[in-house]
A = this chain, B = another copy of it.
Amino acid sequence: MIRVGIIGATGYAGGELVRILTGHKDAEIIWYGSRSYVDQKYADVYRNMFQIVDAACMDDNMEELASRVDVIFTATPQGLCASLVNEEILSKTKIIDLSADFRLKDVHVYEEWYKIEHKAPQYIDEAVYGLCEVNREDVKKARLVANPGCYTTCSILTAYPLAKEGLIDMGTLIIDAKSGTSGAGRGAKLPNLFCEVNENIKAYGVATHRHTPEIEEQLGYAAGEKVVLNFTPHLVPMNRGILATEYAKLTKDVSWEEVKAVYDKYYADEKFVRVLDRDVCPETKWVEGSNYVDIGFKIDPRTGRIVMMGAIDNLVKGAAGQAVQNMNLMFGLEESEGLELVPMFP
């Protein structure tokens, strides 16, 4: 039984880790870390867990935690994991960091986009970017996994095969993404109040959102060239789900079948990536509560562009589900253990 500690267990991503791990037959949560709710019963914070989780919340003492668990999930704000991690901790336990601290390989890019100093740059190289479908083998050997961002997971996987195979002109790539509100976290902030979000849609962080360099870096690896793109997130009045609509010029004349074959080359054996049938557009509702990424695409012969669309549940494949998928890989378990979550509709 893998002993699990969670730091940040009372955020939405932390709560989703608890939901998923509760159904994982080889893992047991023994530390529900939450600085804000120390000593309060976890089930008093998330009442869905009443009579399911009996534990109280603990502080975020990573040193102590390291000696008690096999893996630590940090579902915390940027900077926290980097400020706590050290060699002793990493010698005792594995870390899966759901924050952005170890996602970007260039510390300057991190500091520029996140406006904070990186406190543990010495681990950036070692950290494995935990996009399982792309870095599976590296994840298996990792001590420290940087779990990808929600927008990032969706945006990258939707375009990855085409970028990898040179089918799209990376200089023309535009990603227009739409997210449910749980992506904004559980902080009590005015813009996230029901009345502000409901019956409303808006773009935000235009040309400045922090997931941009992460997408650029990873798609750059795939394409084998530096990628600079436009990424625009939008806030949608729903709890869960991200839809990424991506536009790029095709580098050659291809049919639907040819593009499908490229997707299949990379994803045919991927349990959690579903490339949809012709003319089917992904909907976030079809993946809700599950670890799936649904991908569809349409070639527009009029403009020579392809429109790629990807949908995920931001809290599952975009956060907690992928983190558990990484854990499974790191511990040699069946990759889908605990993740056989059937999407819930409606």
Residues of A within 8 A of B (CB): 12, 15, 19, 22-23, 46-52, 172, 174, 176, 178, 180-182, 186, 188-190, 192-204, 206-207, 228-230, 232, 234, 236-241, 243, 245, 247, 274, 276, 280-290, 294, 298-300, 302-303, 305, 307, 309, 311, 340, 342-346
Contact A303 B229 (CB under 8 A): yes
CA distance A283 to B48 in the complex (A): 9
Contact B207 A287 (CB under 8 A): no
Contact B342 A239 (CB under 8 A): no
Q: A195 — which chain B residues lie within 8 A by C-beta? A: 12, 181-182, 186, 192, 239, 346
CA distance A149 to B302 in the complex (A): 22
CA distance A300 to B229 in the complex (A): 10
Q: Indicate how many identical chains form the complex.
A: 4
Contact B286 A345 (CB under 8 A): no
Q: A247 — which chain B residues lie within 8 A by C-beta? A: 174, 176, 230, 232, 247
Give min CB distance, A29 to chain B, whole Å. 12
Give min CB distance, A263 to chain B, whole Å. 14
CA distance A197 to B204 in the complex (A): 22
Find the B residue at minimum CB distance from A174: B247
CA distance A203 to B279 in the complex (A): 11
Contact B193 A188 (CB under 8 A): yes
Q: A276 — which chain B residues lie within 8 A by C-beta? A: 47, 50
Contact A240 B199 (CB under 8 A): yes
Q: A237 — which chain B residues lie within 8 A by C-beta? A: 194, 198, 236-238
Contact B345 A203 (CB under 8 A): no
CA distance A79 to B250 in the complex (A): 36
Contact B343 A207 (CB under 8 A): no
Partner of A344, one of B19, B196, B284: B19
CA distance A237 to B178 in the complex (A): 12
Residue from A204, A245, A288, A299 whose CB has the most chain B CB atoms within 10 Å: A245
Contact A289 B230 (CB under 8 A): no
Contact B286 A346 (CB under 8 A): no
Contact A243 B46 (CB under 8 A): no
Q: A343 — which chain B residues lie within 8 A by C-beta? A: 19, 48-49
CA distance A201 to B176 in the complex (A): 13
A-B contact pairs, 15 of them (CB 8 A): A48-B342, A174-B247, A176-B245, A178-B178, A181-B193, A192-B194, A194-B194, A194-B196, A195-B239, A198-B199, A200-B283, A206-B281, A228-B302, A239-B346, A240-B346
Contact B204 A281 (CB under 8 A): yes
Partner of A178, one of B234, B238, B240, B342: B234
Knowing A50-B276, A239-B346, A342-B52 touch, does A181 contact B203 (C-beta < 8 A)?
no
Give min CB distance, A287 to chain B, whole Å. 7
CA distance A207 to B280 in the complex (A): 13
CA distance A174 to B306 in the complex (A): 12
Contact B245 A346 (CB under 8 A): no
Partner of A286, one of B47, B241, B299, B305: B47
Give min CB distance, A39 to chain B, whole Å. 17
Contact B202 A346 (CB under 8 A): no
CA distance A193 to B345 in the complex (A): 13
Partner of A284, one of B12, B172, B200, B311: B200
CA distance A202 to B299 in the complex (A): 17
